[in-house]
Amino acid sequence: MVNGFSAEGLNKVSEVLDGYVERGDVAGAVAMIYRHGKLVQVDAVGHRDRAAGLPMRRDTIFRIASMTKPITAVAALTLVDEGLIGLHDPVDAWLPELADRQVMRDPDGSPEDVVPAERPITLEDLLTYRFGLGWGRSSLAPRLFALTADPIASAIGVADAERLAPDEWLRAVGELPLIGQPGSLWRYHTASDILGILISRITGRPLETVLRERILDPLGMSDTGFVVPESKRDRLSVLYGPDSTELDRPATTAWGEQPLFPSGGAGLVSTVDDYARFAHMLLGGGALNGVRILSAELVEALRTDYLTPEQHAVSPFNPPLGQGIWDDQGFGYGVRIQTGPGAGIPAVGTLSWPGGLGTAWYADPENDLVALLFVQSANIIIAAEWRSPLGDDFLTGVYSALEG
């Protein structure tokens, strides 16, 4: 037994990953399992560059897409810890573009049929994705999707994406009415990009600088950032699309230079080791190896489900995507929380949120377990559910191997 895991069960996890590579379902994968802060197993299988025959390695760099969101949320919460903004403070003072909102009577109706917002947008509205705009069901969905920032927009195939700097982007968002009253409905993604701008305006510093000073450097996340420097380019995985098409290569990567708009929702790259440190910090109540990032009180707030019964009952997405997303899950501050037993995997209280280019992480406080699975395949995850059964098979294997 290895830290409560059966050796046989861990071998089966490795066999599952090997099988997906051997069948050609993915080019490669890196998986990591921790228990009680100790590394239990790491698998690096297949290739980071199939054509060149370069093997996947533990230190391979991945485009983590929406796994950026929890990091941005924690950065915003550090400002709360410092008293620079309160959770329930209106954001109008820093984001005047979002002041004095108008709200559509019907999210699927006319943007011209509006009523005044009942209250201002608060920081907590942004942290919980309930400020009134975002990806998902509404007549404004195509417009909001077109505002996806590069390089993620190119990676996921947003054909009509607009290239805007942060201030221009927020002005464009501010021209839109909300599709619901602040706090009334959950919609995806847009709030995290706004949080990135809010963080920068409150601190007067670029978002990446704030992330590096407050989270990345203190945790030793040296391979996480918005840019892959030339010196690390050989460790970046190729990004694959359908039928193994190559969407982004290390030599010509769109992540090779500073983005026009550093996306707090989807812009970062990272490694399994780096993100494991972030996950362990959350399991540790905001601290890791004696370094405190966030107060224990705010970590507890982060891992609280804020969705109302009505919000749990309604899918934010059009069928068939994510129709049961909130059946046994809730949403805190930038993270998903397992709220019900479901199939028992993962355990109740587990924190997670995947990346749409093939990355996922799980921090389970009940079992003091961290598990990560990184592949680099665009849209292998859709609407927070694995398009391929790979992620489910990995998690099932991890929990089946857990014996004590």
d(CA 110, CA 138): 10
Q: 89 and 187, same structural domain?
A: yes
| Pick from 67, 11, 120: nearest CA to 264 | 67
Q: What is the pLDDT of residue 343?
A: 66
Using alpha carbons only, give the angle 35, 36, 41 rounded to the nearest 5 degrees.
25
Within-domain flag for 146: yes
d(CA 312, CA 323): 11
Domain that includes residue 378, residue range: 7-67+222-401
Which pLDDT tens digits describe the chain residue by residue (404 residues)? 788 999 999 999 999 999 999 999 999 999 999 999 999 999 999 999 999 999 999 999 999 999 999 999 999 999 999 999 999 999 999 999 999 999 999 999 999 999 999 999 999 999 999 999 999 999 999 999 999 999 999 888 888 899 999 999 999 999 999 999 999 999 999 999 999 999 999 999 999 999 999 999 999 999 999 999 999 999 999 999 988 899 999 999 999 999 999 999 999 999 999 999 999 999 999 999 999 999 999 999 999 999 999 999 999 998 877 888 899 999 999 999 999 876 678 999 999 999 999 999 999 999 999 999 999 998 787 655 678 899 999 999 999 999 97
Q: 246 and 172, same structural domain?
A: no
Q: 158 and 255, same structural domain?
A: no
Cβ atoms of residues 42 and 58 within 8 Å: yes
Q: 299 and 264, same structural domain?
A: yes
Within-domain flag for 292: yes
**Residue ending a domain, choose from 175, 203, 231:** 203
| Pick from 244, 195, 222: nearest CA to 87 | 195
Structure token pair of residue 35: 């228990």
Q: 307 and 324, same structural domain?
A: yes
Q: Which residues are catalytic?
A: 66
Q: 147 and 11, same structural domain?
A: no
d(CA 291, CA 280): 12
Q: What is the pLDDT of residue 136?
A: 95
d(CA 397, CA 9): 7
Q: 174 and 305, same structural domain?
A: no
Structure token pair of residue 362: 């799980």
* Total domains present in the chain: 2
What predicted TM-score, i.e. pTM, was given to this entire model?
0.97
Q: For the domain that residue 15 is a member of, what is the CATH number?
A: 3.40.710.10
Residue 150: partners with Cβ closer than 8 Å, 6 or more residues away: 161, 163, 254, 259, 260, 261
Residue 75 Cα distances to 93, 278, 293, angstroms: 19, 12, 9
Q: What is the pLDDT of residue 345?
A: 85
Q: 369 and 279, same structural domain?
A: yes
**Residue ending a domain, choose from 203, 230, 257:** 203
Q: 254 and 188, same structural domain?
A: no
Within-domain flag for 2: no
Q: What is the pLDDT of residue 84?
A: 98
Q: 3-class secondary structure for the chain?
A: CECCECHHHHHHHHHHHHHHHHCCCCCEEEEEEEECCEEEEEEEEEEEECCCCEECCCCCEEECHHHHHHHHHHHHHHHHHCCCCCCCCECCCCCHHHCCCEEECCCCCCCCCEEECCCCCEHHHHHCCCCCCCECCCCCHHHHHHCCCCCHHHHCCCCCCCCCCHHHHHHHHHCCCECCCCCCCCCECHHHHHHHHHHHHHHCCCHHHHHHHHHHHHHCCCCCECCCCHHHHHHECCEECHHHCEEECHHHCHHHCCCCCCCCCCCCEECHHHHHHHHHHHHCCCEECCEECCCHHHHHHHCCCCCCHHHHHCCCCCCCCCCCCCCCEEECCCCEEECCCCCCCCCCCCEECCECCCEEEEEECCCCEEEEEECCECCCEECCEECCCHHHHHHHHHHHHECC
| Pick from 37, 68, 72, 64: nearest CA to 302 | 72
Q: 195 and 115, same structural domain?
A: yes
